[in-house]
Structure 1
């Protein structure tokens, strides 16, 4: 894309949203030597919660890019 391209602002916004999701939702882990445990790198930007925070009440569905997601 060239400077001034109208799609440039949308592409930058999309890249910033992807970066935010990755920063808040991806956790790095390293297996500990000689153990069945992993050490996780959780930082101040890591989103914390439990599965209850993402459940939809009354069987409601989330629509993402025309595809529907629902609780099973």
Structure 2
């Protein structure tokens, strides 16, 4: 087991924060104009789905942060 921290963890956290910020800005700029007039429940469903999509590549990214390998 690793006892010393690696550069991948802080870099990975900063990268994740940057990517999530850009993703949120993109969703706000591109999706909201399309669904802004929809019923609130329909908007909530779309935003909930989009809020979960970013989790799909997260497992491989976390593995990279810990091991340096992508899988």
Shared fold (TM-score, shorter chain, > 0.5)? no
Shorter-chain TM-score: what band?
0.3 to 0.5
Output the TM-score relative to the length of structure 1. 0.33
Bigger radius of gyration among the two:
1
**Relative to total residues, which structure has the larger helix share, 1 or 2?**
2
- Larger RCO of the pair (alpha carbons < 8 Å, separation 6+): 2
Output the TM-score relative to the length of structure 2. 0.34
